[in-house]
Amino acid sequence: MTYSTDQIEHARRLFAQDCEFLRGCASVSDLPPPNLPEAAIAGRSNVGKSTLINLLTGRKNLARVSKTPGRTREVNFFRAGHELMLADLPGYGYARVSREETARWTELIFAYLSGRPNLRRVFLLIDSRRGPLPNDIAVMELLDRAAVSFQVVMTKCDKPDKAELRQALAETQAEVQKHTAALPEVLMVSALSREGIDELRAAIAAVAVR
């Protein structure tokens, strides 16, 4: 989808408002009231979720960026003005996490996805150097079962060469077509070059339209 100049500007103004961290939630009972339209950011550990949230909002330290994969163990909520809530979901696929911890995260995420009435869309981040891995596909299937609309975003698109990027994009698009809850368009971004950031911001801002 091509976003108009007005849509890009609306998204810029939305994220230029006061953006604040609200809370981290380790259980469904801790979730904030579902008073605003909500977009969730999901992806494997170290795929760049926190970096992307900081880039979208123009804040360097709104979401804590850790060099240790798997550190985020809660659903972290951020509010963009009075129009939109962002939920940063715990990263998945980190091998050093115990099975018990993984099971607890999975239970929390499924409970969140299936029971959050104001959740409009999940933006599923996939590393462009790897394409969709088995854990990514499992999350897509989970979103299908929960009937939650999602859009795939390929991150770190400045890292692979052009041929590798084309191959990863083709593999990702082919996988997306298999999932009933997926939007057909795959977005591509780079935190380093800022490629695709305006378009992703516009896609997220679109869910705030009531």
- Among residues 157, 201, 155, the alpha carbon closest in space to that of 58 is found at 201
Provide the pLDDT for residue 16. 85
- Among residues 89, 188, 88, 92, the alpha carbon closest in space to that of 138 is found at 92
Q: Angle at which helices 134-146 and 99-115 pack, to 10 degrees?
A: 30
User: Picking from 31-35, 71-75, 103-107, 191-195, which range would have the lowest pLDDT averaged per residue?
Assistant: 71-75
Average pLDDT across the chain, whole number: 87
DSSP letter, residue 134: H
Q: Residue 26: pLDDT band by 50, 70, 90 thresholds?
A: confident
| Domain boundary assignment for the chain | 5-206
80 touches 23 (CB < 8 A): no
- Among residues 63, 114, 115, the alpha carbon closest in space to that of 87 is found at 63
- Among residues 210, 193, 204, the alpha carbon closest in space to that of 11 is found at 204
Q: Is 169 exposed, middle or buried, given 0-12, 13-18 or 19+ CB atoms closer than 10 A?
A: middle
The overall pTM is greater than 0.75: yes
Q: Which of the four CATH numbers 2.60.40.1120, 1.10.3720.10, 3.90.950.10, 3.40.50.300 does domain 5-206 have?
A: 3.40.50.300
Cα–Cα separations (whole angstroms), residue 69 to 1, 25, 98, 200: 32, 19, 13, 24
Q: Is 55 exposed, middle or buried, given 0-12, 13-18 or 19+ CB atoms closer than 10 A?
A: buried
